[in-house]
Amino acid sequence: MKQIIYSTLAVAAISILFTACKKEETPIATITFNEPLANDTVLQGDSLHVEGTITGTGELHGYTLSITNKSTGAVVYTGTASNHSDSYAFHEHWINNVTATAALEIKVDVELDHDGNKSSKTLNCVAVQ
């Protein structure tokens, strides 16, 4: 009888151990840009609207939105959200103040976990001087 009890406890302990050690699956993030469309043009002084959504198959760990002037390499806008959520909606504005017409790269980096796994999406458009 004791053997049955000990065996049952041992199996239960091993099960708990393995369950506890099982690593959560890294979620998959889907990044969608609603605005702008690829290769859209933004006139000098106008606002560039960057609008879209991020949806995950599980909990995501934040995201960063950046806009880079590809001609100069300068990051002209960056914003980071660190709150955990299954989904995000972003809608930010950047006013075109370039001194020479330049290609812009809009990039969204999503933190999938705290191990450094990320999901990214980029979109290019043009800022006109």
Partner 1 sequence: MKILISTCLLVLTSFQLLSCDICGGIGSSVSAGMLLNERYHFIGIRSVNRMTTSYFEGIKHSREMVFAQELYGRIQAGKRIQLIAAIPFQTGIQKRDLGQDFFSGLGDPYAYLNGIVLHQKDSAGATRTFLSIGGGIKFPLGKYSIKQDGFQNLYPGTGSWDVPTSLTFVQKVKNYWSFQAEAGYTFKRSNPSGFRYGNNLTSSAQFTHVVRVKGNRLIYGLGGFFDHFEKSTSTTSNLGENTNSGYTTGVRLNLNYLSRKWLITSQINVPLIQQLNNGSVKSNGAIQLGIHYLITSKVK
Residues that bind partner 1 (CB under 8 A): 34, 47, 49, 51, 53, 55, 63, 65, 79-81, 83, 87-92
Q: Nearest approach, Cβ of 43 to partner 1 (angstroms)?
A: 14
CB 54 within 8 A of CB 63: yes
Residue carrying structure tokens 């812009």: 104
Q: How far is the CB of 15 from partner 1 (least distance, A)?
A: 38
**Residues whose CB falls within 8 Å of the CB of residue 9, separated by 6 or more in sequence, listed in order:** none
Complex with partner 1: residue 27 or 88, whichever CB lies closer? 88
Please give the structure tokens belonging to residue 83. 């709150």
Question: Please, which residue, 12 or 28, has the CB nearer to partner 1?
Answer: 28
